[in-house]
Structures are given as C-alpha cells and as structure tokens.
Structure 1
Amino acid sequence: MSRAFTKEQDDVPAGLVERPVSPHRNLVTQNGLRLIEAELARLQTELGQATASGDKASIAHVSRDLRYWTARRETAELNLADQDGDVIRFGMQVTVENEDGRQQSWMIVGEDEAEPSKGTVSHISPLAVALFGKSKGDLVTVNGRGLEIISFKAIN
C-alpha cells in the first residue's frame, strides 16, 4: 500500500489511550470546580505552545487531557452542603475517632479533587459512602475498623 494512504501517526506516541471518565455523577465542590477550570486554562495554554512548536507528541498528550477535562467540566454538578445540615453529605468535613482513640478529619469531595494523603476523599469512596446520612455519635465500620463520628460541618 502506498504511504500516501496511511494516517500520519509517526509522531504520535504509541499506546496513547483516552483517559477513562468515571461513570459516577461528577459532583464537585466550589474548590473542585475552580481546579477543573484552572486545569482547562493550563492545558489550553500548553496546547497553544505545543502547536506553535510543532511538537506532535505533546499536542497528542495535551489534546487527550484537554478532552478529559472538558468532559469533566461539562458534567460537573456543583453541590453545596447545607450549612445547618443534621446528617453527613457531600461537601462536608467529618472528624472521626477510631477504636484506639485517634481522631482523623476528612473532607468529602469530588473524584478529581480527592487526595486522601491531604485529607480529602471521594464521595464514592467506601469511607464517604459509610458516612453519608450519619450524625454525630453514630458508629460506622470501614474496612473492618470501627469509627465514631465526632463532628461534621459544611466546607463551602
């Protein structure tokens, strides 16, 4: 077959696949929405630079990420927690105490915003799912560990 009839993919990285988009509702906090918009702006700038330099590999990578974040922005559902809520919901900071008396606080946020090492967990995580609908003093079990809810508040 003549080379004229093949796609020009020589400069596109082999194995570059689309980033998977979660099938779950894309709930976001105000901060999560700001992070998505900042990432879109950064990627648009990066795409312009890659296009200007003619770097096809960078264009492919940035375009792929731009498609992902565009989809996440289009499906984002800003969800603000009720400041006077009497049960735990999305957008709340929750403090729990484990069986050893150690306390930990977690903010329940969107999937793209979650960083457990920084104290944020996704609303679809086992911890968040176990906490939803509970109140101060309630007990939950997550991964075989008993936790008592000490306090919670909206993080808006």
Structure 2
Amino acid sequence: MEKEVLLTKEGLKKLEDELNELKTTKRREVAEKIKIARGFGDLSENAEYDEAKLEQAQNEDRVLKIEEMLRNATVIEEDDAKGDIVKIGSKVRLFDKEFDEEVSYTIVGSTEANPMKGLISNVSPVGKGLIGSKVGEEVSILTPGGQVVYKVLEILE
C-alpha cells in the first residue's frame, strides 16, 4: 500500500511546478548535454557522457517520486485547519517556556516540512505533541533535545 502524502495547497503547487520544470526544461537541458557529450567520441571513456547520463537518471528518478507523491496526495483544506484545536494545516503561535519567547509553526505533512521556515511535520515530536491541543493549554513534549513546554497562544488558521 502506498503512503498517503499530506500537502497544503502551496505544497501541492510547488510539487506540480517542480514536476513541470523537470519534465520540460530539465529534460531538454540533459538531452542537449548528452547530445554534446556524444560528439566527444568514444562513449566508454567519456566522462561528460557518463555525467550527463547520471544527471538524466537522477532527473527521471525525481520525476517518478513526485508523480507518486501527487498520486497519493491529500490536500489539507484551509477550512479543516481552522478551529479551536491544533491539527494538520494549523498555524499556531506558541510561547516557548524554556527560551521565554514566542514562536510560530505551521503543522504540515512530512513532505513539506522545513523547520527553518516554521513548517513542522505532523509526525515530528513537536508536531505530534501539538496536534489536539487548544488555545491556553500548556503542552509538554519530549524531543530528541529533551523536554520542551509550549503554551498555545493562538491558532491562526
């Protein structure tokens, strides 16, 4: 059974755009590199040809992965993310008790996760720990770095 891929509308668009880029522009670029490399003669000792063929294989592998993700995609509707309980798609504003600061996260599927941009996976310790919490609640979460305590200040969407 193939694994469900949870995506926001933005995440779905990014994957579709990347797929289009790989299938059009990138395929043409790689085909041109292969054509040029073939002109260098003996393919058995042609590093440019080998490199171009490797790039082609990597491009095609990524195309297949994205197509599979899109086949198994479930888009998180914004209406589903709104409400008084944190769920996948929710944007939450929290108070980090240890660092005495406010932080904001959006709970997304693992495909879109990018902690540096505040996008945390629903299967990460923090994502799992926040799901189901409500505004005003304190949530204690065991992370690889130790126990963290957040107070849920606001569910934005």
Q: The TM-score by the shorter chain falls in which range?
A: 0.7 to 0.9
1:147 to 2:150 alignment: yes
Alignment-derived partner of residue 37 in structure 2? none
Within 5 A, what are the aligned runs for 1:53-72?
53-54=33-34, 55-72=52-69
Structure (1 or 2) with the greater helix fraction = 2
Q: Deviations over 1:111-150 (max 9, x none)?
A: 2221101111112111111111111011111220111101
Give structure 1 stretches of 5+ with no counterpart. 1-22
Within 5 A, what are the aligned runs for 1:4-153?
24-45=3-24, 46-54=26-34, 55-82=52-79, 84-100=82-98, 101-142=100-141, 143=143, 144-153=147-156
TM-score w.r.t. structure 1 length?
A: 0.77
Alignment-derived partner of residue 5 in structure 1? none
TM-score w.r.t. structure 2 length?
A: 0.77
Distance 1:24 1:152, change over 3 A: farther
Distance 1:89 1:81, change over 3 A: farther
Q: Deviations over 1:33-92 (max 9, x none)?
A: 001101101111212321243231211110111111111111110111436412111111
Q: Residue type of the partner of 1:27?
A: L
- Does the Cα contact within 8 Å between 1:91 and 1:108 map onto a contact in 2? yes
- Does the Cα contact within 8 Å between 1:81 and 1:89 map onto a contact in 2? no
- Does the Cα contact within 8 Å between 2:82 and 2:155 map onto a contact in 1? no
Runs of 4+ aligned residues of structure 1 deviating over 4 Å after TM superposition are none
Give structure 2 stretches of 5+ with no counterpart. 35-51
Percent of pairs with identical residues: 25
Give the secondary structure class of the aligned counterpart of 2:10: helix
- Matches of 2:74 and 2:112, distance apart in 1: 13
What's the C-alpha RMSD, in Å, of the aligned pairs?
1.6
Q: Residue type of the partner of 1:30?
A: K
How many residue pairs are counted as aligned between the two chains?
132
